[in-house]
Amino acid sequence: MIVTPPDLPADDPSEELGGTVALTLTAEEAGGRLDKTLAEHLPDLSRARIQALMAAGMVSREGKVLTDTSAKAQAGDYELLIPPPEAAEPQAEAIPLTVLYEDPHLIVVDKPPGMAVHPAPGTPSGTLVNALLHHCGDSLSGIGGVARPGIVHRIDKETSGIVVVAKSDAAHQGLSALFAAHDINRVYVALVRGAPSPAKATIVTQIGRSSTDRKKMAVLKSGGREAITHYSTRTVFGQQKKPQAARLECTLETGRTHQIRVHLASKGNPCLGDPVYGSGPPTPAVREAMAQAGLSRQALHAAVLGFVHPVTGETLRFESALPADMAKLEALLSAL
């Protein structure tokens, strides 16, 4: 099997990709039901999605359009044409923002948990982009497209903390270059189950979409994209020999989707409250502390963002204190 993916970044597993996917099936891989076989070899696409593409005449083999989903898969070269999602133009909304810095070229905000960075299926409004359109008017950089004006990086909807957004095209291009070169200082605070061993280390893996759940990311043995996270244990809660939780500082060298959450979970120390990667419950005392703190999301906060201003050349560094739910949880954990 040979697969050529769409020539587009796969940063967000909640979004459909647009483009062309080329797939070659060998004789050994053929023989099963066509839609099921294609879905097995293309984990980024669900079986229902493939059926819809076939019904729309978007799937072909050796140049012949295939519409019968129940037909047997044959060996050969397949092509799937995947239309990009239609981006609805986001509307300006008067949503309060915590602005840490703003000039004619960029704006730095402290995003609360529960706010998505940009509109996407399931979150068409109430996003950071909607708030910025109201705050900045027409000054956001248009390079990001209709649905993502000014957006050069993202943090998860339920992750709190600092985000920089471009207001000019020059800033957008400059910030994008800094992120691509990993020349941005990004430090996150995570409250995790147990405590990692060793207390300080660098995690280097390949991260890509899970083959069993396309909405999740996973550490892969091959394929995916290189992901590098440096972590350091700052506080251990509970007995040293059997810690119940810990506060970590995680510095990103790369910025893959869900990178910190996936990396910490791979060590057996998922973020507390993580609904996707938090397999295995914390101790009863930690669960009680989470309930008292009102934590209803992953305990992950983008605490530091530092970079050289892409237009003025000024060195900028911003810090954000823990939001109320994580701060209260840390105080309760300190009493264990």
Catalytic machinery residues? 156
Q: How far is CA 39 from CA 54, 166, 211, 221, 247, in A?
A: 12, 38, 10, 20, 40
* Inter-residue contact 61 to 25 (CB < 8 Å): no
User: Could you give the residue ranges of the DSSP H alpha helices within 3-149?
Assistant: 34-41, 47-55, 128-136
* Inter-residue contact 165 to 132 (CB < 8 Å): yes
| DSSP state for residue 144 in the 8-state scheme | T
Of 253, 316, 330, the residue nearest 286 (C-alpha): 330
Of 279, 274, 292, the residue nearest 333 (C-alpha): 292
| DSSP state for residue 87 in the 8-state scheme | P
Of 36, 97, 27, the residue nearest 70 (C-alpha): 36
* Inter-residue contact 21 to 4 (CB < 8 Å): yes
Q: Are strands 99-102 and 106-111 parallel, antiparallel or unpaired?
A: antiparallel
Tell me, what amino acid is at 148?
A: R
